Amino acid sequence: MTIAKDELVSYDVDRVRADFAILSGTMRDHPLVYLDNAASGQKPRVVVEAERAVYENEYANVHRGLYQLSQRATERYETARRVVRRFINARHPHEIVFTRNATESINLVAASYGRNFLQAGDEIVLTELEHHSNIVPWQMLRDERGVVIKVVPIDGRGEVPVAALTRLIGPRTKLVALAHVSNVLGTILPVAEITRRAHDVGAKVLVDGAQAVMHLPVDVQDIDCDFYAFSGHKLYGPTGVGVLYAKEEVLDAMPPYQVGGQMIETVTFEKSTWAPLPRKFEAGTPPIAQAAGLAAAIHYVSTLGLKHIAEHEHQLLTRAYQRLSSVPGLTLYGTAPEKTAMVSFTLDCAHPHDIAQVLDTGGIAIRAGHHCAQPLMARLGVPATLRASFGLYNTLDEVDILADGLERAVKMFT
């Protein structure tokens, strides 16, 4: 879909939905209402077509072949890297490392930077709302190297008070690792301000942007973070491709995360040397077609305009607040004024898993569980929540369908 800038007077959600074939289908004899976008976004046709074009017309391994087909594949792959650079405003394309997903990006930092630059007694500061992917790698580093993990508590609205975080940052702090947006509460963290506080004591900052890049503009130079990670599949792109941004000087100082083909310069039985950035961190055959799909997804959301997407999603969130407030026995978690279009809640009549199964009978796809954030669930005092996460193709009618489904579930269980 191509939309000229002067056409963006209003957001035409019906026109957007036409780009997603799956949304015209049914589930259990009902129109599909897909409200699990925080887990993974659906794919517009342009993303599917971009991957197909690689496999049908331009597929070859990249960087290795002197023949024209390989050179074309390489150019498309490196073009995707440049697209990502512009999307998050990195300084250089070689500051963009392709990974499998945000989880691998964070593990790369923990394994390469953490194991080589953090020592026993050094402190890593996390927040109470982190995804497991931004907790467990640091726990492994703690158990292996003796680093100390400190956790910033959230307040009653699901925000991370900067003052509380500042009190935990000190001379022993070497890394602050935090989400840009909570995957449970939708809270948008003030990552630029937090980065400034961390840099004041010489600490590095890693931002988990998996829940941010599809909702709001990201400028890594403005944030000034040292690392930024996100996944393609949440950004309406393919699975199997993610991004790690890191400052050039930091990547230069880090050793390889994985070794083998593609990431070497020379190999002898006595010694090996590494390829220049970013190939030093891209061992083996990379996600060739997936990178093209990611570039197509970035072009898609950029053409729609993240500002327009955010405005549309804010309308969805406002409607969700209005409708869910009248559902009997519903408790809402995460009411920060700065948040993305996501609502997490429980009903006092049944476990979230049971409610989700009832909703499924009406074609409503909603997440129920701990959302890979068990420490946050403990803070909220619940084993699980229901989570409805909205995307650029969801409608006000779908919010109403969700609320009606919840009201039916309450009547069923009471």
Give the residue numbers annotated as catalytic, written as ranges. Answer: 372
- Give the DSSP per-residue string, 72-125: HHHHHHHHHHHHHHHHHT-S-GGGEEEESSHHHHHHHIIIIIIHHH--TT-EEE
| Contact status, residue 44 vs residue 1, Cβ threshold 8 Å | yes
**Residue listed under structure tokens 């898609």:** 300
CA distance 360 to 405: 9
Cis peptide before 337 (omega within 30 of 0): no
Burial of residue 10 (number of CB atoms within 10 Å: 0-12, 13-18, 19+): exposed
The whole-angstrom separation of Cα 196 and Cα 186 is 23
> Do 91 and 97 meet the contact criterion of CB atoms below 8 Å apart?
no
Check if the beta carbon of residue 167 is closer than 8 Å to that of residue 153. no
d(CA 35, CA 343): 10
Vertex 126, ends 167 and 105: CA angle to 5°? 145
| Contact in structure between 119 and 148 (CB atoms under 8 Å) | no
Q: How far apart are CA 347 and CA 329, in angstroms?
A: 5
The amino acid sitting at 109 is: V
Q: Are strands 30-31 and 123-127 parallel, antiparallel or unpaired?
A: unpaired
Q: Up-side HSE of residue 36: CA atoms within 13 Å toward CB?
A: 18
The answer to whether 402 and 35 have CB atoms below 8 angstroms apart is yes
Nearest-5° Cα angle at 82, 77 to 86: 150
